Amino acid sequence: MKENFKSKEYFKPCLRFKRREHPYDIGMPFSWWASHYDRHFLNNIYERNESEFDAFYHYHLSHFLKINPGDEEPEFFRHVWDIVHDGIAKLIDDDKIDSKTKHERTNKQKLHLRTFVTYLDSIDRFNARPSQIVIAEKDAIIARQQQQIAEYQQQLQELNKLEVKQKIMVEESHLSTLIDLLQQIDDLTLPSGRFFLKCDNTSPYYKMVSKYFSKGGSPISKETVKNYFGDKEKNTPPKTPIPAEKKLFKIVRVDPEV
């Protein structure tokens, strides 16, 4: 005896002889073949904007999980993925290139479905798509990461060339004297009236001191040095002023013609 096959319901259908309860329901308010649910699903996709794809997908996913206890999203995802790709293949097979109107409509529908495929690819957190696609994507990701690693290694090698074996040691009680000299340098002007050095902020100065100088042989905290500099952008004064007794030197511009 031949057993009747009853297909699983994946998408929320429009009730017969009633208007759609929700725009995402598939089917027609009057008679329609339930066996053609895939075509009705695709037709509803054509009506959706890209911004609706996520809501549309999850609307039907919620219905699927509700009426199919024990089933999980990967099965639903694979079914949607198959239907959409079958729809694209069907559009290609049925394309009427000699008909301007039909060919134009086909191209728009293909683009719409391919955009939906891009959305599906973005939410496939369980690798439910065909293995060859998932593997190809992972291979591409690995290749990009290997390229990035090579670039980072090259950058690291270049940065290591700037490292020093020994920092310049400042007399322990005269860190503020060094800062005073740097502040003077920052304010120097050329005979033309232009600034000798120009920088819109002070971070290069305090980072340079912290990186390349030591205080009595001990590291210098970047935050400690930063407190000696004000914020040029916010026009705020330094938190730590330089004591007058530490201002031991004065940088003076020399006129070469004298």
Q: Where does 52-174 have alpha helices with state H?
A: 53-67, 73-94, 100-123, 131-160
How far apart are the C-alpha atoms of 134 and 205, rounded to whole Å? 49
For residue 148, which phi and psi values (nearest 5 degrees)? -65, -40
Is pLDDT above 70 for 188?
yes
Is pLDDT above 60 for 258?
no
Q: What confidence score (pLDDT) does residue 5 get?
A: 39
For residue 236, which phi and psi values (nearest 5 degrees)? -105, 145
Q: Could you tell me the pTM of the whole model?
A: 0.56
How far apart are the C-alpha atoms of 138 and 156, rounded to whole Å? 26
Q: Give me 157's structure tokens.
A: 């090698």
How far apart are the C-alpha atoms of 29 and 38, rounded to whole Å? 16
pLDDT band at 12 (very low <50, low <70, confident <90, very high): very high
Is pLDDT above 70 for 57?
yes
How far apart are the C-alpha atoms of 209 and 215, rounded to whole Å? 10
Q: What confidence score (pLDDT) does residue 107 get?
A: 93
Q: Are 92 and 111 in contact (CB under 8 A)?
A: no
How far apart are the C-alpha atoms of 99 and 184, rounded to whole Å? 78
